Amino acid sequence: MRSILSIIALFSCCTLAAQEYIPTYGRELPRGEVIAYPTAQEAAAAFAGDTRYFTRLADWTQKGNVFSTEFTVPFAWANRQVFFHLGWASADYEVRVNGKAVAYDSDCSAPAEFNLTRHAQEGRNTLEIVVSAPSQVARLESWKSDPAPAIGPAWVMSQPTLRVRDVLTKSWRSSEENDKVMAEIALVVKTESLNPRTSRIHYELLTPAGSNAAIGYKDVTLDMRREDTVRFLARIPDSMLWNPGRPTQYTLRVKTQHEGRYMEYIELPLGFRTVELRNGQLAVNGNPVALRTREVPPQFPAEEIAKLREQGFNTLRLLPGPVSPALYAVCDTMGMYVIPQAPIDTRSSGESRRIGGNPSNDPAWQNAYVERTEDSYHTSKRHPSVIAFSLATKSANGINLYESYLNMKKFSETRPFIYPDAAGEWNSDGLKLE
């Protein structure tokens, strides 16, 4: 009898453990897509093929829930960092390099990067993605229905030891010049070195006509895997602000230099505009905006976006799931507002806040909620088309969504954070949607 009870207790523990959140490890901090090029010409052309520092991974072998491929670390990557990028997966997944588990990602909907420098060797390496089956995070992803194992676009890329990790923007109205907006561009620079290392960061911001809105450089010295931010300002005239009628974008060019040698080139389109919430009314560039929204899948094609715009819609409210980077690029270019949706949908767990009910009120899932809302924010924040962020959908309410909202407010962001199903509770900014 005692043995039977022990077996029952063990089975119960295993069941509970399977439902607990397993923390992500071995993953880089989330960022908007940044691709480094070996030459200024390739960066300017946004060259889509492989380069000296970039290799797409397309030849995967699948055996059940395991995807495997090979990649090569050339001699040219010596004394540089090796990163693996995966766009998405059908479930949470483990990353293995040369047979060894090196990382795990719980948020399978967001693009993720992993620093493989310490795990990869010069020459040929094996890479495996083990997609969980069953998914450990299925309770948070009610929009899925037993998906087959799958993974999204992937590549390996090399960046210098002292590298540009992320690019941020911020805009505000100038108190001295009412017809201009101050734009701040922040280059987040990080080193993986244990010893002091100095590099020069060159930056150039070009207007659509090709003239310089800002240009300069800064020498950065970092040690012990530290991080710093290089900031510079530009004055943007009202006529050049991004808006749906005129989705103007500038061009940012960055290059890093170490001991006289240029190490990498990065080129990105940037749009500048102000967004703020005034008594539930969104104002873009100081002008009130009525949001005529349509809920769409996160992989919505460009031609369908154009049709919605012709029908009078000006805002896409995304459903949960992996978002194609091309969608943001299309909306930036077309002048369509976007509200990204963090990949949290727990409708299958019901509305109850009691123990065993909806995970939105279960502290065991708190880190998962915070991670997913923060990932959604960081991977989309640089796009001028993004004017608000949705924390979850159809997920009751509770401590995890309260904490997610408070965590988002730490970023000094003027764009609103909303949870449309908050039912009047405080953890949703009062944005009016049509």
Interval 213-217 mean pLDDT: 98
- What's the rounded Cα separation, in Å, for the pair 201 and 240? 26
Q: Domain 275-416 sits in which CATH superfamily?
A: Glycosidases (3.20.20.80)
pLDDT at 332: 98
- Evaluate if residue 9 carries a pLDDT over 80: no
| Structure confidence at residue 10 (pLDDT) | 35
In the numeric block, which tokens belong to residue 418? 């909303």
84-94: burial string, b at 16+ Cβ within 10 Å, e else: bbbbbbbbbbb
Nearest to 340 by CA among 367, 373, 371, 308: 373
Both tokens of 81, joined, read: 């960092």
User: How far is Cα 84 from Cα 172, in angstroms, rounded to an integer?
Assistant: 35
- pLDDT at residue 285 tops 80: yes
Q: Pick from 27, 44, 2: which is nearest to 86 by CA?
A: 27
User: Comparing 160-268 with 275-416, is the CATH topology the same?
Assistant: no
pTM, full prediction = 0.93
Segments in 229-317 forming alpha helices (H): 302-310
| Domain edges within the chain | 34-158, 160-268, 275-416
CA-nearest of 52, 273, 254, 272 to 166 is 254
Average pLDDT (399-412) is 97
Tens of pLDDT, residue by residue over 228-257, are: 999 999 999 999 999 999 999 999 999 999
Q: In the chain, what percentage of residues exceed pLDDT 90?
A: 91
pLDDT at residue 1, as a whole number: 34
pLDDT at 11 over 60: no
Res. 18: pLDDT tops 60: no
Mean pLDDT of all residues belonging to the chain = 93
**What is the pLDDT at residue 325?**
87
> Cβ neighbours of residue 361 under 8 Å, at least 6 residues apart?
353, 396, 397, 398, 399, 400
Is residue 7 pLDDT above 90, yes or no? no
Rounded Cα–Cα distance for residues 417 and 341 (Å): 10
Whole-angstrom Cα distance, residue 139 to residue 239? 47
Distance CA 175, CA 311 (A): 38
Flag whether pLDDT at 395 surpasses 90.
yes
Give mean pLDDT, residues 168-188.
Answer: 91
Q: Note the pLDDT of residue 393.
A: 97
97 phi, psi to nearest 5 deg? -125, 125
Please name the fold of domain 160-268: Immunoglobulin-like (2.60.40)
Helices (H), 279-324: 302-310
Contact partners, residue 396, CB within 8 Å, separation at least 6: 346, 349, 350, 351, 352, 353, 357, 358, 360, 361, 421
Please state, as a whole number, how many other Cβ atoms lie within 10 Å of the Cβ of residue 182.
18
CB 186 within 8 A of CB 169: yes
Instruction: Note the CATH architecture for domain 34-158.
Output: Sandwich (2.60)
| pLDDT at residue 15 in the model | 37
Residue 418 has pLDDT above 80, yes or no: yes
What sign does the CA torsion over 195, 253, 188, 73 have?
Answer: negative
Largest CA distance in the chain: 83
The pLDDT value given to residue 2: 36
Cα separation of the two ends of the chain: 62
* Average pLDDT of span 133-142: 96
Helix axes 399-408, 366-380, angle to 10 degrees: 30
Among 147, 246, 163, CA closest to 199: 163
Q: Give the total residue count for the chain.
A: 434
Does pLDDT of 17 surpass 70? no
| pLDDT for residue 174 | 79
Q: pLDDT tier at 19 (50, 70, 90 boundaries)?
A: low
The pLDDT assigned to 5 comes to 33
pLDDT tens profile 335-365: 999 999 999 999 999 999 999 999 999 999 9
- pLDDT band of residue 126 (cuts 50, 70, 90) is very high
Residues 31-83 pLDDT 10s: 999 999 999 999 999 999 999 999 999 999 999 999 999 999 999 999 999 99
At 415, give phi and psi (nearest 5°).
Answer: -75, 145
Three-state SS at 39: coil
Mean of pLDDT values over 384-396: 98
Eight-state DSSP code of residue 199:
E
